[in-house]
């Protein structure tokens, strides 16, 4: 399986990082070794100084697809989870400045936290889902999928122009504003609406 991620999909987050709001989705990938499941702790790696949380809605692909039309994109996923796209921000800034690829700052082990998945029909309108991240019990990031620059259907269609989507592939759909450095012994809890999706410690 593969993990496809969309960057800068919320205008308020693009702004907080002084990035341009993109005209086309910003796409990058993580390998399956990046996955961190089952509320296991995130161990802060030693290769950078500043690891940021980015809470994101994640869709799981359930059919093979290529060149999917946006109006049919909703047939290619039926489960949704909540994840964290951990990012070594200081390293990312260096790589961005040099025009180098992002893998080292985005695709390292443990960088793709993922919750269990729930049926999308149990959540209501996918294009109007509230989600948030608490750090030590306080709300740190909060978004609604209606604020996305590119909707989930648009993203599925767009990425399928480049990559054949396969069953089990995950798409991280971008993060709202409020990203910040994590510190040891912090507790991260993610919610879609009122439903708790993940709860893990930073070590
Ligand atoms: Mg992200």
Q: For ligand 1, a single-atom ion, which residues have Cβ within 5 Å? A: 54, 85, 175
**Whole-structure pTM value:** 0.97
pLDDT at 116: 97
Q: What would the mean pLDDT of 165-175 be, rounded to a whole number? A: 98
pLDDT at 176: 96
* Average pLDDT score over the chain: 97
**What is the whole-number distance in angstroms between the Cα of residue 194 and the centre of ligand 1?**
22
Q: What angle do CA 86, 174, 141 make, to 5 degrees?
A: 70
pLDDT tens digits along 118-153: 999 999 999 999 999 999 999 999 999 999 999 999
**What is the whole-number distance in angstroms between the Cα of residue 125 and the centre of ligand 1?**
22
**What is the whole-number distance in angstroms between the Cα of residue 122 and the centre of ligand 1?**
25
Q: What would the mean pLDDT of 70-84 be, rounded to a whole number? A: 98
Q: What would the mean pLDDT of 89-117 be, rounded to a whole number? A: 97
**What is the whole-number distance in angstroms between the Cα of residue 3 and the centre of ligand 1?**
12
pLDDT at 21: 83
pLDDT at 13: 87
Domains in the chain: how many in total? 1
**What is the whole-number distance in angstroms between the Cα of residue 69 and the centre of ligand 1?**
24
**What is the whole-number distance in angstroms between the Cα of residue 6 and the centre of ligand 1?**
6
User: What residues contact 94, with CB distance under 8 A and at least 6 apart?
Assistant: none
**What is the whole-number distance in angstroms between the Cα of residue 11 and the centre of ligand 1?**
13
Tell how far CA 17 is from the center of its chain: 16
User: Are β-strands 112-114 and 195-201 bridged in parallel, bridged antiparallel, or unpaired?
Assistant: unpaired
CATH code assigned at 147: 3.90.850.10
**What is the whole-number distance in angstroms between the Cα of residue 82 and the centre of ligand 1?**
12
Q: What's the token pair of residue 87? A: 């990012």
**What is the whole-number distance in angstroms between the Cα of residue 138 and the centre of ligand 1?**
21
Indicate if the pLDDT at residue 79 is higher than 90: yes
Q: Do 119 and 78 meet the contact criterion of CB atoms below 8 Å apart? A: yes
Q: What is the DSSP string of 3-22?
A: EEEEES-BHHHHHHTTPPPP
pLDDT tens digits along 11-70: 988 888 888 888 999 999 999 999 999 999 999 999 999 999 999 999 999 999 999 999
**What is the whole-number distance in angstroms between the Cα of residue 54 and the centre of ligand 1?**
5
pLDDT at 29: 98
CA 59 – CA 192 distance, rounded (Å): 13
**What is the whole-number distance in angstroms between the Cα of residue 4 and the centre of ligand 1?**
10
Query: Which residue range forms the structural domain that includes residue 73?
Result: 3-201
């Amino acid at each position: 399986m593969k993990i496809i991620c969309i960057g800068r999909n919320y205008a308020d987050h693009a702004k907080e990082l002084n990035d341009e709001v993109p005209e086309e989705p910003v796409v990058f990938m993580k390998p399956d070794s990046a996955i961190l499941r089952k509320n296991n702790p995130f161990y802060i790696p030693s290769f950078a100084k500043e690891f940021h949380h980015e809470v994101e809605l994640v869709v799981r692909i359930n059919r093979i697809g290529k060149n999917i039309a946006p109006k049919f994109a909703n047939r290619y996923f039926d489960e949704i989870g909540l994840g964290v796209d951990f990012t070594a921000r200081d390293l990312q800034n260096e790589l961005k400045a040099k025009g180098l690829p992002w893998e080292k700052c985005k695709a390292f082990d443990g960088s793709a936290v993922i919750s269990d998945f729930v049926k999308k029909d149990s959540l209501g309108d996918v294009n109007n889902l509230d989600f948030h991240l608490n750090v030590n019990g306080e709300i740190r990031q909060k978004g609604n999928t209606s604020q996305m620059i590119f909707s989930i259907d648009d993203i599925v269609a767009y990425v399928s122009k480049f990559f054949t989507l396969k069953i089990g592939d995950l798409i991280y759909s971008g993060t709202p504003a409020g990203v910040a450095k994590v510190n040891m012994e912090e507790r991260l809890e993610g919610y879609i609406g009122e439903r708790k999706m993940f709860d893990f410690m930073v070590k």
